[in-house]
Amino acid sequence: MTDSTERPVAASGTYRIGGDLPVHRLGYGAMQITGPGIWGEPADRGESLRVLRRAVELGVTLIDTADSYGPFVSEELIAEALHPYPDDLVIATKGGLTRSGPGQWHPVGRPEYLRQCVEMSLRRLRLERIDLYQLHRIDPKVPLDEQIGVLRELRDEGKIRHIGLSEVSVDELEAARKHAPIVSVQNLYNLTSRNSQDVLERCEAEDIAFIPWFPLATGKLAEPGGTLAEAAARHDASPAQLALAWLLHRSPVMLPIPGTSKVAHLEDNLAAAAISLTGDEVARLDALA
């Protein structure tokens, strides 16, 4: 068995989260294995379990989830499908958002609630320590030092290994770093949505992992005759694969986590790891923003 043929995701390269957690750069986001509106059980539980197992078979070593996906459903499915976990698998989860219904999300950053979130994620995921725990949203009603402080305490207690953030500005990132080391940022970023470019650049400068959510915003870009469609045709690839390949070429700290609830779609996405873009192709795709 070789990584290049049996675990093709290895071709995406390796990044060390926090300097000590090596992962293949193309990961899997486990949001879509729940029901509509990221609420409740998936329509096909068996297929969701197959997706998780197939991702690992193909070489994924970073799976990103959150307690609010379902809520709780995504974490439970990951444990059911993959526990006991492979030694090289990093499961990142998030806490700090509550749910009141499909498509509804509300930040809660009280320290006692965040502590409860970590304890319950540990139980659902069947872990003794969470390798990467991310504050899903900063709660504007709670002092930031209290939110980061409790995560630092949980790290010191050995319940989490590293702390990350989600949907933050450069100023918020720097404010959080005053209270604890931050090893990752998860912000919206793709071919057409690059409002977090300054955050990405700060992450590059500080060697902080940048995890773009919603990486596959292809939409009209995938229409015949467009730059993305033409580039995909040259590589005998799908527009989604090109969008992921562009992200991988965009920055060495970029860790895309495309999500899906179908094995066929998963396999298509992960094939992006092997696509090599020329400098001219990258420049033309850069210009699509």
Q: What is the dihedral of CA 198, 201, 206, 207, to 10 degrees?
A: 130
Give CA–CA dist 28/250, Å, rounded. 18
Alpha-carbon gap, residue 7 to 75, rounded angstroms: 24
Token digits for 188? 């919206």
Report the chain's C-alpha Rg in angstroms.
Answer: 18
Is the preceding peptide bond at 212 cis, omega within 30 degrees of 0?
A: no
Give me the sheet containing 160-166, strands edge to edge.
28-29, 62-64, 90-95, 130-135, 160-166, 184-186, 209-210
Residue 120 has φ and ψ, to the nearest 5°, of -75, -35
Within 8 A by CB and 6+ apart from 95, the residues are 66, 67, 68, 114, 117, 118, 121, 133, 134, 135, 136
Nearest CA to 177 out of 154, 151, 159, 212 is that of: 151
Active site residues: 69
Please, are residues 19 and 161 in contact by the beta-carbon 8 Å criterion? no
